[in-house]
Amino acid sequence: MKASDGFKKTIKAYLDNRAKEDELFAETYAKPNKNIEDCITYILNSVQKSGCNGFDDDEIYSMAVHYYDEDNIDVGKPVNAKVVVNHKTENKRDEDDNKAAKPTSEDKTVSTKKRTSKQKKEDVGQLVLF
């Protein structure tokens, strides 16, 4: 299974940041027999075995760290699953912030259309009984 780019980028960004802040983890993270693809496969198999559908970020990140910490870990077979990331990566957040800071004429048109559709919904919701 090929994990979504968003999920892979989120995990990799966390691991990269942790390696910058933690010298011991940086050594573990640089092991030549470890890679992000197997890390993602390990996480997906661990999630599947648990039977749960939702996890806290820290739980997923700890699975990623565990993968890199253990030399003899069973990654498992590739899993066919859909992964949903419920937050944005820093790069995406920066892009959205820049776009929000510079409104365009297209943005104004969209917001006007939204107001119009809301007004119609309010009119429909009012009933006259007599």
User: How open is the CA angle 106-90-87, to the nearest 5 degrees?
Assistant: 80
pTM above 0.75, yes or no: no
Q: Does 127 map to a domain? A: no
Domain contains 99: no
Is residue 41 in a domain? yes
Does residue 28 lie within any of the structural domains? yes
Give the burial class of 67: count Cβ atoms within 10 A of its Cβ; 0-12 exposed, 13-18 middle, 19 or more buried: buried
Look at the chain and report how many structural domains it folds into: 1
Contact of 67 with 34, CB cutoff 8 Å = yes
- Look up the domain containing 8 and give its range: 1-74
Indicate whether 66 belongs to any domain. Answer: yes
Residue 122 placed within a domain: no
DSSP state of 51: T
Would residue 10 count as lying in a domain?
A: yes
In a domain, 34, yes or no: yes
Structure confidence at residue 113 (pLDDT): 46
pLDDT of residue 54: 82
- pLDDT for residue 101: 55
Q: How many residues belong to the chain?
A: 130
Choice among 3-7, 47-51, 66-70, 105-109 with the minimum mean pLDDT:
105-109
